[in-house]
Amino acid sequence: MIRITDTLAIDDGEIAERFVRASGPGGQNVNKVATAVQLRFDVHASSLPSEVKTRLISLSGSRMTTEGVLVIDAREHRTQAQNREAARARLVELIEHATRRPKKRRATRPGRAAKEERLSLKKRRGEIKATRGRTHSDE
């Protein structure tokens, strides 16, 4: 079980991990050992509450496949275990972020002073622009 919050946890069976060869520095180790982790989490089939699922789908962006599978790729460390922990930590962080409800926006209106300030700035800018250009001589 992976604990997300005090009341929310996901089962290890809901996560599929695949180890692939990583690119980048590491010498022969890169060519021999599959250290990069590709973590896959099926959001639609998970045990998460429905509102958390919808927020998670919108938060994940390009990491979400068309089938609703969240794919997290971790290859920053040289060992499988460290990459695995990094991928799981990113998943937990993303789900944790999805559990927080966004604040509802309250519509507000600008005050009288703000309106007057905006209009005076517009007036001043217009006067500056009006003085540009050719001058007319009375000769």
pLDDT for the residue numbered 26: 64
Please measure the distance between the N-terminal and C-terminal CA atoms of the chain and give it in whole angstroms.
91
Q: What is the DSSP letter of 45?
A: T
Specify the 3-state DSSP secondary structure of 68: coil
Taking a C-beta distance cutoff of 8 angstroms, is the pair 12, 2 a contact?
yes
Look at 39 and 12; give whichever has higher pLDDT.
Answer: 39
Average pLDDT, the chain: 83
Residue 70: partners with Cβ closer than 8 Å, 6 or more residues away: 40, 41, 42, 43, 56, 60, 63, 64, 91, 94
| Percent of the chain residues topping a pLDDT of 70 | 91
- Asked if residue 124 has pLDDT above 90, the reply is yes
Reading the block at residue 49, the tokens are: 């509450």
- Asked if residue 103 has pLDDT above 80, the reply is yes
- Asked if residue 39 has pLDDT above 80, the reply is yes
Taking a C-beta distance cutoff of 8 angstroms, is the pair 21, 30 a contact?
yes
- Asked if residue 83 has pLDDT above 90, the reply is no
pLDDT for the residue numbered 53: 82
- Asked if residue 58 has pLDDT above 80, the reply is yes
pLDDT for the residue numbered 84: 87
pLDDT for the residue numbered 31: 67
Reading the block at residue 137, the tokens are: 């001589």
Look at 94 and 136; give whichever has higher pLDDT.
Answer: 94
Q: What is the DSSP letter of 71?
A: E
Could you give the CA distance from residue 101 to residue 55 in angstroms, rounded to a whole number?
Answer: 9
